[in-house]
Structure 1
Amino acid sequence: MSENFNFIGPAQVGQSQPQPQNLSRASTSRDGNSGAVGHDNLLPIANVGRIMKEALPPQAKISKRAKETIQECATEFVGFVTGEASERCRRERRKTINGDDICHAMRSLGLDHYADAMRRYLQRYRESEELAAALNSGSGSGSGGGIQIDVRAELSIFRGHEQQDRN
């Protein structure tokens, strides 16, 4: 059973602003309706932990609570961006969200840095898909070996780390 936890302090009584909620138990959609966010709706913790580990030195340890916190935040972020992209599709009477919709959503949410990186990644991905399709149609055999694209190379925050590592 899902529960909403609204914490109302003495200074908050009578205010019309939404109250904080425990994200691991409940979430509020854009229209204000509360819905259960069970474990099925969170990003997989193993994937979150693996991504976190890649960004840290090999000897670093990550607590279970830290992984759970990032899991909740990442899930909320993905939902936030996807909701904005979905709204654009709804306005344009389309049923499928594509990569361009995600880039547009990031830009409209003020995440220009990420939108630019995503646009570059999307362009390279599309080019690699075209190349793979051309290679597969020419050879007649499905090798299944995809082309790798380093997403981190697209973000300048990671480029700064690479330059420091080389020095």
Structure 2
Amino acid sequence: MNTQDMHPIAAHDRHPIIPAPQDLDNGALIPSDPPPDAAPITDQEVGEYREQDRFLPIANVSRLMKSAVPPTAKIAKDAKECVQECVSEFISFITSEAAERCLSEKRKTIGGEDILYAMGTLGFDNYAETLKIHLAKLRQNGSSGPPPPRVEHPIEPRIDEES
């Protein structure tokens, strides 16, 4: 596919992708009429829409990965893509659980406490404890302004005894 053929879908042109109902007896699709004001969506647009909305931007993932390794280290493209997919799935997983809690409590906004609850519920208690401290510091300092400075932990090269 040529990058010239790809053009982003404007937010006002996006329509929800609603699967057609299925016949439970044989799995065949039952035809359904599109909404009256909806323009047909091409397969290419569906693929582009899903890709950009499902994953975090690769540049952001790459920057975070690079900050965790020595400056001379290189990270393969497939490693970046793998981490991109994993962290995006992880975020969706946690957010989905937090959203269920909000829905059950008839709230529309997911808050920090909901994320902590979801992480604990899903077995990520050790991460939830660290995030609880971070959330408290964030609330103490206010959410405006630049983030606190990052503490770098250099990775020492391994020295083989044979050398």
TM-score by length of 2: 0.59
Which residue of 2 is the match for residue 110 of structure 1?
Answer: 123
Query: Which residue matches 1:49?
Result: 62
Aligned 8 A contact 1:48 1:67 in 2 = yes
How far has the Cα of 1:39 moved from its partner? Answer: 2.8
1:86: how far off? 0.4
SS in 2 for 1:102: helix
Shift of 1:113: 1.1
* Cα distance in 1 for residues equivalent to 2:64 and 2:146: 20
CA offset at residue 63 of structure 1? 1.0
Residues 9-55 of structure 1 show CA distances to partners (whole Å, capped at 9, x for unaligned) of: xxxxxxxxxxxxxxxxxxxxxxxxxxx84233210000000000000
Q: Which has the higher helix share?
A: 1
Whether 1:148 aligns to 2:161 is no
For residue 68 of structure 1, what is the amino acid of its counterpart? E
2:108 — aligned with what? Answer: 95
Q: Distance in 1 between matches of 2:58 and 2:135?
A: 25
Name which one, 1 or 2, has greater alpha-carbon Rg: 2
Gapped runs of 5+ residues in structure 1?
1-35, 133-145
2:132 aligned with 1:119, yes or no?
yes
Contact 1:128-1:147 at 8 Å conserved across structures: no
* Greater than 6 Å deviation, 4+ residue runs: none
Question: In 1, distance between residues paired with 2:146 and 2:66?
Answer: 24
Q: Which residue of the partner structure matches residue 76 of structure 1? A: 89
**CA distance in structure 2 between the aligned counterparts of 1:109 and 1:89, rounded to whole angstroms:** 16
Any conservation in 2 of the 1:49–1:67 contact (CA below 8 Å)? Answer: yes
Q: What amino acid maps onto 1:149 in structure 2? A: P
In percent, how many aligned pairs have the same letter?
49
Secondary structure of 2:142 counterpart: helix
| Match among 78, 85, 99 for residue 86 of structure 1 | 99
- Any unmatched runs of 5+ in structure 2? 1-48, 157-163
Q: Letter of the aligned partner of 1:104 in structure 2?
A: Y
